[in-house]
Structures are given as structure tokens and as C-alpha cells.
Amino acid sequence: MAESSADPEAPEFDRAIGGFMTFARIEAGLAAATLEAYARDLQEMLVFLLPLGVREPKDVTVDHLAAHMRHLSRERGLDARSIVRHLATMRVFFRWLHANFKLEKDPARLLERPTTWKKLPGTLTPGQMKKLVETPCADHGALWLRDRAMLELMYAAGLRASEVGTLKVNDFNETLGIVNVIGKGNKQRIVPIGQPAIDAVKRYMAELRPHLTRFNDGRDGYRLLLSHTGRPLERVAVWQLVRKYALASGIRGVHPHLLRHSFATHLVAGGADLRVIQELLGHSDIGTTQIYTHVDRSHLRDTIAAFHPREAAGKKRGAA
């Protein structure tokens, strides 16, 4: 992956971006998706700054960066969440330059973070989820067992598209009924899965995976889910497969993260503890998990009625 695009108009800027990307990849060990986002955001920033006469990082001011953010919002029409991501990229880039004595001052430190309203995630109903995960069948080609196992795992464990693709064979433990997941920031979590997912994975591993590992050159990387060429299933392929089976099942607007949202939402609606759901999803902040409490609040009144001491006392008096 190219870490920066060389720009003959701004060689100093280009060297700075290249040095930062090397640091992010080798020393920080950031994920490939994060590296791609950093490189893309910094290149967009440079494209904006060049017409303003900015050729070196030392020429950048807080006003330049604020103008760039306004451009992203007004001309580009990006939402607040995307702008916050651009801001985070600029902050970490200029902080790195300042920390490494390449800049006397950090022009990004005074930038204010735009307010972001949390968007409520969409979800599928339990019936829709059942229909979706059970859609793959022999009519959908030779790899349908893999696709069924993939969908079952994503819903059973609330997996991201990148997480289901990076699962290794040894991450699946049939006896304990769990999967070992490596999530964002290389954080590990153990997630229990139900019998339908266990059965789907077992059948895939017994009947199909041996045929996909016909190559002895190590191309499979010990990954659980493989393509027809015996290579690990990539994130983009997961997206394509989810959409394929959503269309086949007659459900519109489905993407991989919707399965994760549905997993969390259905647990909340069933009365699961929010802290447990936080662990299952791999969220660092409970505030991120709390967004799922919007879904079914009907059980909240039942919880108060059943467990609040004043409610319980009132029932006793009424029964007396």
C-alpha cells in the first residue's frame, strides 16, 4: 500500500506525511483500514492547502485547518462524524510532527471538535435475521455452506466485517461454544455463540473447507473462512456476500454492520445487561453501547415494576 502520494509541488509536506505513515504502520502498528483512512485524509488536506500557497507543514496555521473543515462541511457536504474523523487525523499528524521537533507549534491543537449527534442504528427484526441467515442454500452455488457459516457467526457474535474475515480455525471452539475475536486495536474478546452458528461452522469445516485448502502454499493463513481460491475472505467480499443474500431474501438496505446492530439490539430487548453487551461487542466505552437502549424501552417499565422496592411495597399493600 502506498503510504502517501508524492507531490512535486510540496516535497517537504510529502516527506512529512510519508514519515508519519511509516510511524503509524511500524511503530504504532495501526490496522490497515486506519492507515488507509489517515493517508486519504492527509492527502485531501494537502490538496486543499496547496492552492492557498501552503507548501510545508510549518506554513500551516489553525485558520488553514479550520477553513479545511468548513470546506469539508459546506462544499463537500460531509456529515459531522466524517469531519470529526478528518479532525482526528490532522490532530494526530501535527501532534506527531511537533513531538518529533519538526514543528515549533502544533496548529491543530486549538481546533474545536464539532458536535456529533449519535445516529440511532438501524436493525432487522428477529424474523428478518432468521430469514437472512437461512437464505444461503445449494441454489446459491458451491460456497453456500461458507456463506451460511459467515452469516450465522456475524449475527451470533455481533462481528464486524473485518472480524469475521480474520477469524482463524483455532478461534472457533466447538466444545466451549465460543469464538475468539480480535477486534479494533488488536483487542481480544471471547464471545459465546449459539448452536445454529456452531452447527453451520461445523458443517462448513467438514464438507467444504477441505476442498478450499487444496493448495499447500500457506495461502489460507489458517483463516476459517476462505474464498474459492483458498485465500482468506476479504472484508469487501463480506460486504458483497451480505448484500447478495439480503437481496435474495427480499430485505433492502442491509450491510454487515446491520447484523452487529441487530445482535446488540436483540440482546437489549431481551433484557441482557448492558455491561455484558459492551464486553461482547468489544466497546471500550459504555457510552457507545448505550445507543442500543433506544430500541425497546417497554421492558424498562416492567423492570421498575418488578424490582423497585417502592413498587414491590405498593403491591404488597394492595394484596393485603
Residues 6 or more apart from 175 whose CB is under 8 A from it? Answer: none
Element (H, E) at 225: none
What does the alpha-carbon distance between residue 258 and residue 124 come to, in Å, rounded to a whole number? 7
Please give the C-alpha separations between residue 249 and each of 13, 215, 244, 246, in angstroms, as whole numbers: 50, 34, 9, 5
Catalytic residue check, 292:
yes
Catalytic residue check, 131:
no
Please give the C-alpha separations between residue 291 and each of 118, 162, 283, 300, in angstroms, as whole numbers: 8, 22, 12, 15
Q: Which of 194, 165, 197, 196 is nearest to 181 (CA)?
A: 165
Q: Which of 25, 223, 235, 283 is catalytic?
A: 283
Catalytic residue check, 283:
yes
Residues 6 or more apart from 229 whose CB is under 8 A from it? Answer: 219
Q: Residue 184 gets which letter from DSSP?
A: G
> What is the rounded (10 degree) CA torsion for 192, 194, 200, 201?
10
Catalytic residue check, 155:
no
Element (H, E) at 258: helix 256-269
Helix axes 309-319, 298-307, angle to 10 degrees: 70
Q: Which of 184, 189, 231, 255 is catalytic?
A: 184
- Phi–psi pair at 217, nearest 5 degrees: -105, 10
Catalytic residue check, 243:
no
Catalytic residue check, 184:
yes
Q: Which of 295, 303, 312, 311 is nearest to 125 (CA)?
A: 295
| Greatest distance between any 2 Cα atoms in the chain | 87
Helices marked H in 23-167: 32-49, 62-74, 80-99, 126-133, 144-157, 161-166
Q: Which of 68, 148, 160, 266 is catalytic?
A: 160
**Active-site residue set:** 160, 184, 257, 260, 283, 292
